Structure 1
Amino acid sequence: MNTRVAFVLPCPARHYDGAVPRTSGRRTDAPFPQGSYAAATWSIPSDYGGMTSALLRRSRTFVEEAGVPVQILTFSATLDVEAMQTTLLERGELVPGVTLHNVWEDIRALPDERVAPQPGAVATVRTQGAPGELVRVEEDDDGSSLRELHFRRDGTLAAVDERRLSGRRVTLYTRDGREGRSWSSVWAVYRKWIDHVLADEPAYVVVDSKSLTKFFAALRRPGIYTAHLVHGAHLTAGATDPHGPLSRTRVPLVQHVDDYDAVVFLTEGQRRDVLDRVGERDNTFVVPNSTDLPSHTTTARPDRLRGAMLASLNGRKRVPHAIRGVQRAAARTGLDVTLDVYGDGPDRDKLTRLAKKVPGVTMHGYVRGAADRLADASFLLLTSRAEGLPLVFAEAMARGCVPIAYDIRYGPADIITDGVDGFLVPQGDIDALAATIERFVTLDDAAMESMRRAAMDTAQKYSAPAVVSQWAGVFADIERRRPRPASAPAATSSPDADRSLVRRVAGMLRRAPR
């Protein structure tokens, strides 16, 4: 019987009625090990992009292909779980068996007896939240203290996260204002919550968010196994070799490779670059994102001049490059080359103003099921500074839409065979992008059809059954290795421990500045 859990939360399943069952898998060629499964991310923004889309899709496919229910664990204090659940249901992102959870939402729902006020504590009037207010941030005039106030939906104060120069304190409050349990770090709160939501052991957690890399690396629970999925590039855009500058947000990845039961990359190229930096490891894997393969596909297109782009509208995606590339291709050919841009983000207004100046470019904003629009597009553009393995590639290729992409370090070259099922363009070169668009739209019919068929064949590697089977293999390998919990005492040194120490030292030396 599990006796770790002292901080019991009500934690109702969201959208899925019933307890999350233990399962040994049902449909994949390689069954999942018995246990419970979860995905961890910081939040789910309303304008979420590729990483969150991939997480949601993977969670659905675990249910549909392997019979494995999945709990999506979130940690953001500002996430309105009820509203987001409604949004995800409307978008078709949730299926029975996928449940959405949030640490602060579950704290708000704690019954007063679980808040555990001191015996004899007196009810006190506390700050009240405004209607719909979940979090309020207050700062002292002198900047010595910062407080996050967490409110229940009835406006009562549920918790205060206070940060002073002398330290941090998270305190719970009953509905009538009595002070309850407290912790000296927010990680301690997270750990208690994790102990509850993942009480059904063994539990396998796929950690998607880079913001949670350090927390799950330090979690060290005997019955919880962690797999960190690396969605983006770990090197800066200007890096010229595997030992180049790390992206600031990916430094924890390199530092904590050994602290995860598995580190999963979207491409073999990125896995090899990380291992070149830290040394060989037996806990690294490559599993791409999957995509829906349409049941009916065709290479025919009513408009060979029609391009598409699916992207979050931010600086990393370099949408202006795509717009300028189409503009120059149209000028070079005299043809009416067009571009439909699907997506939303902070740069939407600026990009909309730019698009109005370029004939044939249309900004559609967020469109549910935008991937299906690719069946009508002739080519797809990707002009990002950095990626992992863009899900949109497989979505486009499965529909016979040929990708034209900047040849950034990870992603495009791992899926595209240049000139066969797509095109690779020197990254950042808008003139080369325009020339490649021109090359494609002026192909003869037979050559264009051949590229579309090749793209559709390539996409088969990214089907849901194929990818879920690869995940089953990762979890089976974790189960096979069953690493000794780091918290367990070691009476004597062992050859395995000695080798682990050598690997860590070697990794530190490789990470040293050069």
Structure 2
Amino acid sequence: MSDVSVAARARRGLRRGRRPVHRVLRRGALCAARPVVRWRRTPPPGERLRVRVLLQHAHGTGGTIRTVLNLCGYLADHHDIEIVSVLRSRAEPFYPVPARVRVRFADDRLAPPPGRAARLLSRLPSLLTPVEENSFRGMNLWTDLQLLRALRAAPADVLIGTRPSLTLLAAELAPRGTATIGQDHMNLRSYRSGLREEIVRRYRRLTVLATLTESARAAYQDALAGSGVRIVRIPNALPALPGGPSPRDRKVVLAAGRLVRQKGFEMLIRAYEPVAAEHPDWTLRIFGSGPRHARLAAMLAERPGLEGRVELRPRTADLAGEMERSSVYALSSRYEGMPMVVIEAMSKGLAVVAFDCPTGPAELITPGRDGLLVPPRDVGALTAALREVIEDAALRDRLGDQARVSARAYRLDRVGGTWNRLLAGLHPGRRASVRTPVPHLEERPAEGADVGIAGENIG
């Protein structure tokens, strides 16, 4: 049996029936690591804050990676920013890394682990990553040690985790004097029960927890009631997209994302099937890669009426260009954190049709004004909404034009400015720069409005 098979079997065993054993081992590993990592005092902050961001895979793809790189590029104008990427499994980044942002890889998998001991550790499951976390299957004990080494090196003034496993590490192991921020890119309800329990226990040690939506902030506020953690809502910032708005002159419905259950693309295909029969001159294009590709391809093959009318395409680095060549964007997710792709589609002037899933769409879209929302997982309602925007060009134009206005609230200068004030306020010597409170984000920005963004006043 190969080493890979042994490691895979061990991970599957932990997932299926040995989770309590892994929890005990994890607690022991954290207790052993704490004196090495946490009890190292952070030097007083200098003129620029030293900010370290923990990211699972800086060279990978996905909304979290893209938005973290986008934000770090803005913050690097004001602070010393370093991204610690837990893994590196591809030589070149999928998204451009901002020039002023340093990236350090904890476990560089482009080269084999150095030495026999490292190779042995790389065959054993991770002890630092909770079994219920989606990243668990890609982690191992060698990665754990490399990540601890990165955490111990040159302590930062601020340590930011960008997924639960990394936020939990920040809460448990941040050196003395380091402020900790958890950045939640999903929502509390979306996590498995065991992970949710760990989050509610350990996030109380954070300095700040930042959520993307108001509904996610409220859920954490209830779950962490009585703790000292400060919970704020700061949405992701809209990245600078090349090109201009869509002229909405192409008969294309666009969807994009990882081909996983969460994104609900099988529901989108079922919803589009009657529309394709009624409007054969329109095309649905789904861009993405992932474990459900074969299943979705088989689903299309079983429906000969969709041939040439629904296209399953690989992920693309030119999604902005595809948006310009489309007229409608469809979101069929079962759940989200804050679907950045919706804001990008709105900024390109597309008419957006979305499930009102938890969380995000309802905070981005005003139904009938800048998009259409339908009940979660209601395939028939999604069909009706797609039919409506396809058959009514005036409606498409009205929704798309207003969507561009609504998307302005998520400009990088607005969101990045809020993060700057939050970071500066984490150290007493910098409070003078954050005395002016940031206004709440209105339920919907008025036409042409330039509003502040925050879940609570920051300052």
1:349 match:
294
Looking at structure 1, the residues matched to 211 and 257 of structure 2 have their Cα atoms a distance apart, in angstroms, of: 21
> Are 1:205 and 2:219 matched, yes or no?
no
Q: Is the 8 A contact 1:205 1:226 kept in 2?
A: yes
1:378 counterpart = 2:381:
no
Structure 2 match to 1:224? 178
Distance 1:318 1:72 in 2: 31
- Counterpart amino acid of 1:415? L
1:37–1:68: 8 Å Cα contact kept in structure 2? yes
The aligned counterpart of 1:428 is 377
CA contact (8 A) 1:262 1:474 kept: no
CA contact under 8 A between 2:69 and 2:98: conserved in structure 1? no
Task: Specify the alignment match of 2:236 in structure 1.
Answer: 289
CA contact (8 A) 1:371 1:392 kept: no
Cα distance, 1:188 vs. partner?
Answer: 7.2
1:459 aligns with 2:407: yes
How far the C-alpha of 1:232 sits from its partner, in A, is 0.9
The alpha-carbon distance between structure 1 residues 470 and 185, as it changes in their structure 2 partners (threshold 3 A), is same
Is the Cα contact below 8 Å between 1:234 and 1:246 reproduced in 2? Answer: no
Aligned residues of 1:292 and 1:463 also touching (Cα < 8 A): yes
Q: 1:60 aligns with which of 73, 90, 114?
A: 73
Distance 1:217 1:409, change over 3 A: same
1:260 corresponds in structure 2 to 206
Check the 8 A contact 1:389/1:412 in 2, yes or no.
yes
Look up the match of 1:393: 342
| Residue equivalent to 1:101 | 104
Q: TM-score, normalised by structure 1?
A: 0.65
CA distance in 1 between partners of 2:148 and 2:95 (Å): 31
Change (3 A) 1:23 1:378: farther
- Distance in 2, Cα, partners of 1:455 & 1:162: 48
Deviation at 1:23, TM superposition (A): 7.6
Report the equivalent of 1:300: 247
Aligned residue in 2 for 1:175: none
Residue 161 (str. 1) matches residue 121 (str. 2): yes
Three-state SS of the structure 1 residue aligned to 2:238 is coil
The change in CA–CA distance for 1:299 and 1:366 in structure 2 (over 3 A counts) is closer
1:70-117 deviation line (CA, Å, top 9, x unaligned): 2221334xx34xxx3x321xx442132223223344xx9xxxxxxxxx
The aligned residue for residue 316 of structure 1 is: 262
2 CA distance for matches of 1:398 and 1:387?
19
Deviation at 1:231, TM superposition (A): 0.8
Which residue does the alignment assign to 1:129?
Answer: none
CA deviation vs aligned residue, 1:215-237 (integer Å, no higher than 9, x gap): 2111142232211011112114x
CA-to-aligned-CA distance 1:2-46 (integer Å, 9 cap, x gap):
xxx999xxxxxxxxxxxxxx885xxxxxxxxx3112210233574
Q: Which whole-Å CA distance do the structure 1 matches of 2:287 and 2:122 have between them?
A: 41
Residue 251 of structure 1 pairs with residue 197 of structure 2:
yes
Give the whole-Å Cα distance in 1 for the aligned partners of 2:377 and 2:36: 54
Does the 8 Å CA contact 1:72/1:100 hold for their aligned counterparts?
Answer: yes
Task: Give yes or no for contact 2:86–2:143 (8 Å, CA) kept in 1.
Answer: no
Q: What's the offset of the Cα at 1:394?
A: 1.1
* CA pair 327-481 structure 1, distance change in 2 beyond 3 A: farther
Kept in 2, the 8 Å contact 1:285–1:474? The answer is no
What residue number does 2:361 align with?
412
Matches of residues 8-87 of structure 1 in structure 2 within 5 Å? Answer: 34-44=48-58, 46=60, 48-63=61-76, 66-76=77-87, 79-80=88-89, 84=90, 86-87=91-92
**Structure 2: which amino acid aligns with 1:457?**
V
Paired with 1:353 and 1:162, the residues of 2 have a C-alpha distance of 36
Q: Report how far residue 186 of structure 1 moved.
A: 8.3
- Structure 1 stretches lacking a partner, 5+ long: 8-21, 25-33, 109-131, 135-150, 169-183, 237-244, 483-514
Superposition TM-score, scaled by structure 2 size:
0.72
Q: One-letter code of the match for 2:262?
A: R
The 1:428/1:248 distance shift into structure 2, 3 A limit, reads: farther
How far apart, CA to CA, are the structure 1 residues paired with 2:387 and 2:365? 18
Counterparts of 1:185 and 1:158, CA distance in 2: 6
Q: Distance in 2 between matches of 1:320 and 1:397?
A: 23
The answer as to whether partners of 2:220 and 2:231 remain within 8 angstroms in 1 is no
Residues 123-169 of structure 1, C-alpha deviations (whole Å, 9 max, x = no match): xxxxxxxxx762xxxxxxxxxxxxxxxx23xx7765753999xxx9x
The structural deviation recorded for 1:341 is: 1.0
Aligned residue in 1 for 2:450: none
Aligned residues of 1:57 and 1:93 also touching (Cα < 8 A): no
Change (3 A) 1:317 1:250: same
Q: Which amino acid aligns with 2:398?
A: S
Q: Deviations over 1:335-374 (max 9, x none)?
A: 5331111111111122123334323111111211213311
Which sits farther off after the overlay, 245-254 or 67-76?
Answer: 245-254
Aligned match of 1:234: 188
> Does the CA contact (< 8 Å) of 1:398 and 1:456 recur in 2?
yes
Q: Residue 53 and residue 444 in structure 1: after superposition, are their counterparts in 2 closer, same or farther (change >3 A)?
A: closer
Q: CA separation in 1, counterparts of 2:268 and 2:123?
A: 45
Q: Distance in 2 between matches of 1:337 and 1:187?
A: 49
| 1:279 lines up with 2:233 in the alignment | no
Aligned partners of 2:185 and 2:211 also within 8 Å: yes
CA contact under 8 A between 2:288 and 2:315: conserved in structure 1? yes
Amino acid at match of 1:73: V
**C-alpha separation in 2, matches of 1:476 and 1:435:** 48
Shift of 1:448: 2.6
| Cα deviations by residue, 1:230-282 (Å, 9 ceiling, x for unpaired) | 1112114xxxxxxxx96443333322232111100000111012212332666
Q: Residues of 2 paired with 1:481 and 1:316: CA distance?
A: 44
Bigger helix share: 2
Kindly provide the amino acid, as one letter, of the partner of residue 402 in structure 2: A
Per-residue deviation, 1:294: 4.5
Q: For the aligned residues, what is the CA RMSD?
A: 3.3
Task: Judge which range, 211-220 or 417-426, deviates more.
Answer: 211-220
Distance 1:41 1:92 in 2: 14
**Equivalent position amino acid for 1:387 in 2:** E
SS of aligned partner of 1:437 = helix
